[in-house]
Amino acid sequence: MSMVRVERPEAGIAVVTLDRPERLNALSFELVDDLHAALDEVGADNSVRVAVLTGAGRGFCSGLDLRGIGPSSVSAGLRPPAGGMRSQAHIADLGPHLRRIPQPVIAAINGPAFGGGLALACACDLRIAVRSARLSVQAVKLGVSGCEMGVSYTLPRLIGGSRAHELMITGREFDAVEAERMGLVARVVDDGEALDAALETARTLLSYSPFGLAMTKEVMWANLDAPSFEYAVHLENRTQILAGTSGDIIEAAKAFAEGRPPIWGS
């Protein structure tokens, strides 16, 4: 039985749910495998235009399962350190995998997001958290580095280097209100409302051109690493002209003139 559920509650939207509620959706290797498979499924489904990532029960993801992560599916037959490196890379690729799929991913943080859970949220494109959510980089408290699963890349880019370094090196917990204040989450909602709020945002995104939305995700992530202002603008320019060839801008102008919502192509 899969530890990750993929549901399609509405046309164009997929909800990916980490489903180990009894462990606050802690990361075992089985869950990691299932999440990779779920992201492959969603990424290849052209009928899905927006995805939501959330957790079952009262937690988003509590990080690595310290009671027993289980055997890795990718390290069979390998001795240390090769087996450990292969397994670590398999876990850590979840963040880049979230970035690679063409659909924007909204993290509906419905409870604790610790360690790898926070890293998953940071790899999403938008984050919405319930008021009671607690977050922490955490790993530095466990005898390993606080830099894991891409958080040392994503977190400084989301909230700035100084604040991100403080969170990584201290591993302190912080709440959703502070997360919103520092710019990590876009919105704080009442407990139990994270998924509804994420679906509301997803519906807004569905009203936009499919190609334009996918290109916005692609370019905004690519330009986090732009070597210069000019480089970033060149990529934007090429993408705008490419998007213009879809005909969506003509439909947008026509719909505006006629006072109706646009009808987008696939």
Task: Give the confidence band of 103 by pLDDT, cuts at 50, 70, 90.
Answer: very high
Cα(17)–Cα(6) distance, integer angstroms: 6
CA 232 to chain centre: 23
Task: Give the confidence band of 199 by pLDDT, cuts at 50, 70, 90.
Answer: very high
State the average pLDDT over residues 76-98.
94
Tell me what percent of the residues of the chain surpass a pLDDT of 90: 93
- Is residue 1's pLDDT more than 90? no
Task: Give the confidence band of 71 by pLDDT, cuts at 50, 70, 90.
Answer: confident
**Beta-carbon count within 10 A of 21 CB:** 14
Phi, psi of 89 (to 5 degrees): -65, -35
pLDDT for 135 equals 98
pLDDT for 209 equals 96
Pairing of strands 126-130, 134-136: unpaired
CA 30 to chain centre: 19
pLDDT for 265 equals 81
Task: Give the confidence band of 132 by pLDDT, cuts at 50, 70, 90.
Answer: very high
Task: Give the confidence band of 119 by pLDDT, cuts at 50, 70, 90.
Answer: very high
Report residue 174 as tokens.
């912080």
pLDDT for 65 equals 93
pLDDT for 118 equals 98
In sequence order, which residues have a C-beta less than 8 Å from that of residue 191 and are 6 or more positions away? 130, 131, 132
Residues 147-189 have pLDDT tens digits of 999 999 999 999 999 999 999 999 999 999 999 999 999 999 9
pTM of the model: 0.96
State the average pLDDT over residues 123-149.
95
pLDDT for 68 equals 80
State the average pLDDT over residues 30-41.
98
State the average pLDDT over residues 205-221.
97
- Is residue 45's pLDDT more than 90? yes
Residues 49-58 have pLDDT tens digits of 999 999 999 9
